[in-house]
Amino acid sequence: MIKMFKSQPNKHKHETFFREILDQLLLGAVFDGIDRSAPVLRWKNPDELSKLISLELPKKPQTLEEVKEFLLNVVHYSVKTGHPHFVNQLFSSLDPFGLIGQIVTDTLNPSVYTYEVAPVFTLLEMELLKEMRSIIGWEKGDGVFCPGGSFANFYGISCARYRFSPDIKEEGLSGRKLVLFTSVDAHYSVKKGTFLLGIGTKNLVLIRTDKQGRMDPTDLEMRIKESIDKDLEPFAVVATAGTTVLGAFDPILPIANICSKYRLWLHVDAAWGGGALMSQKHRWLLRGVARADSITWNPHKLLAAPQQCSVFLTKHESILQDSNSASATYLFQKDKFYDTKWDVGDKYLQCGRRADVLKLWTMWIGKGSEGLEEHVNTLFDVAKATVDEIKSRPENFKLVLTTPEFVNVCFWYIPKRLQGQENSLDYNENLHKIAPKIKERMIKEGTMMVTYQPLGTRPNFFRLVYQNSELTCHDATFFLDEIDRLGRD
């Protein structure tokens, strides 16, 4: 048995400071921060806030008391993203197992590139990525923890480009026009990937979606044929499993059939929806995902792991190594005494790399895959209850999708003065102004955080997104009541 902590008071001059501040920080940031009666945020505009927290970097060291005061202020004025009423973004929750895994990681301060500096993290990463691949349905493959879903999507596009034309690694694109396809509702990182990887935004073809926000495979095939007719070089499709706004799942099976027919790489951006794979009840949403060549899956989204926990996975065993290796001899010496296959860093685009595995691993052992499945199922239930409640309040609320597929619940709030005005010419223009006004009041009061956005021709609407394991149907009622209260003129 390894003896972890020896009680050695005053062993280090900062130990008392550290223990004290951890107590107060944990209390402030963790426990007070998730208390429903506490605010989600204490809004201050930038001018006010700059006076409340010291933004000066001093020449002389400050006292420990001053450092402590500064950190407590940071906690006080920061948004409590673990609060059940923070449903603003595609991350939330404060999982105790995840948090402790994150704290232990930061304490050890590893960088996962060679086995010698990160032996435990390397093994944990390899094992967890293998398990995630097997949940997708792949027996073999590779993967990497990335700094966010955008980066994981870049890996997908980059692997696709390498598979299409390996010589681009040395020759560059040299004026070639490679074409990438994704839906109009795909995450904006796909567009970023095209300029980052030399594809060019003009060579990104946006495929139309149906009313639910899912890619239309017929349009996809037509656009692929068009690009072939123009002598361009189609090379990959990025499908989305859980779009950012509507939570739509592109139909992976017909898309995979098209990709096979035209020999295109299929990357599935399941950053948001990947967590549904943990649920036997809901994993059908991603049916066909095993046909993909690669996927992005962010456990910090639906599974509520602490930020960031974002994974790129591929079923092709050597593609990361082949496409990214640069063989720096000062790091990846081949004459080491151990098997250098465990020096994983050369196949990744980053050099130094945070260890994002332990927080998820700790959650997994603390809850079991059954606990993760239950978490996902509960979120779907709360989303369904929210939809039902919105339907029961037709005067004030209108759903954007009457039957959402996922845990995104999108709706308009209709204040009294706009009720019954649907046919007036400026109705949409007026409705467009409602959500920003309510959001301003919400932020200033700090009672909750819910985002809004327009989409295509749809005027601004609210989007509730559920990931927090504390959420219940009562919270759904709270969100609607609160929007109604803030929206009354």
Of residues 355-414, which lie at the interface with ligand ABU (CB under 6 A)?
Answer: none
Instruction: Give the residue nearest to ligand ABU (CB).
Output: 89
The residue (of 244 and 447) whose beta carbon lies closer to ligand ABU is 244
The least distance separating ligand ABU from the CB of residue 453, rounded to whole angstroms, comes to 8
The residue (of 153 and 396) whose beta carbon lies closer to ligand ABU is 153
The bridge status of strand 178-183 relative to strand 204-207 is parallel
Q: Is 89 in the site for ligand ABU (CB under 6 A)?
A: yes
Of residues 45-84, which lie at the interface with ligand ABU (CB under 6 A)?
Answer: none
What is the C-alpha separation between 366 and 369, in angstroms, rounded?
9
What is the SS3 string spanning the chain? CCCCCCCCCCCCCCHHHHHHHHHHHHHHHHHHHHCCCCCCCCCCCHHHHHHHCCCCCCCCCCCHHHHHHHHHHHHHHCCCCCCCCEECCCCCCCCHHHHHHHHHHHHHCCCCCCCCCCHHHHHHHHHHHHHHHHHHCCCCCEEEEECCHHHHHHHHHHHHHHHHCCCHHHHCCCCCCEEEEEECCCCCHHHHHHHHCCCCHHHEEEECECCCCCECHHHHHHHHHHHHHCCCEEEEEEEEECCCCCCCECCHHHHHHHHHHHCCEEEEECCCHHHHHHCCCCHHHHCCHHHCCEEEECCCCCCCCCCCCEEEEECCCCHHHHHHCCCCCCCCCCCCCCCHHHCHHHHCCCCCCCCCHHHHHHHHHHHHHHHHHHHHHHHHHHHHHHHHHHHCCCCCEEECCCCCCCCEEEEEECCHHHCCCCCCCCHHHHHHHHHHHHHHHHHHHCCCEEEEEEECCEEEEEEEECCCCCCCHHHHHHHHHHHHHHHCC
The residue (of 178 and 245) whose beta carbon lies closer to ligand ABU is 245
Cis peptide before 280 (omega within 30 of 0): no
The least distance separating ligand ABU from the CB of residue 128, rounded to whole angstroms, comes to 21
- List the one residue from 90, 157, 255, 302 that touches ligand ABU (CB under 6 A): 90
Of residues 143-162, which lie at the interface with ligand ABU (CB under 6 A)?
Answer: 149
The least distance separating ligand ABU from the CB of residue 434, rounded to whole angstroms, comes to 19
The residue (of 150 and 227) whose beta carbon lies closer to ligand ABU is 150
Of residues 264-323, which lie at the interface with ligand ABU (CB under 6 A)?
Answer: none
The residue (of 114 and 408) whose beta carbon lies closer to ligand ABU is 408
Check if the beta carbon of residue 347 is closer than 8 Å to that of residue 278: no
The least distance separating ligand ABU from the CB of residue 265, rounded to whole angstroms, comes to 22
Which residues face 237 on adjacent strands? 181, 266
The least distance separating ligand ABU from the CB of residue 91, rounded to whole angstroms, comes to 7
The least distance separating ligand ABU from the CB of residue 375, rounded to whole angstroms, comes to 19
The residue (of 105 and 244) whose beta carbon lies closer to ligand ABU is 244
Check if the beta carbon of residue 486 is closer than 8 Å to that of residue 480: no
The residue (of 158 and 243) whose beta carbon lies closer to ligand ABU is 243
The least distance separating ligand ABU from the CB of residue 244, rounded to whole angstroms, comes to 5
The least distance separating ligand ABU from the CB of residue 253, rounded to whole angstroms, comes to 25
The residue (of 28 and 193) whose beta carbon lies closer to ligand ABU is 193
The least distance separating ligand ABU from the CB of residue 243, rounded to whole angstroms, comes to 10
CA dihedral over 218, 219, 222, 228, signed as positive or negative: negative
Total residues at interface with ligand ABU (CB under 6 A): 4
The residue (of 244 and 294) whose beta carbon lies closer to ligand ABU is 244
The residue (of 265 and 452) whose beta carbon lies closer to ligand ABU is 452
The residue (of 33 and 273) whose beta carbon lies closer to ligand ABU is 273
The least distance separating ligand ABU from the CB of residue 113, rounded to whole angstroms, comes to 26
- Max Cα–Cα distance, the chain, nearest Å: 77
Of residues 153-212, which lie at the interface with ligand ABU (CB under 6 A)?
Answer: none
CB within 8 Å of 430: residues ≥ 6 apart: 418, 421
The least distance separating ligand ABU from the CB of residue 462, rounded to whole angstroms, comes to 12
The least distance separating ligand ABU from the CB of residue 381, rounded to whole angstroms, comes to 22
The residue (of 31 and 188) whose beta carbon lies closer to ligand ABU is 188
Residues making contact with ligand ABU (CB under 6 A): 89-90, 149, 244
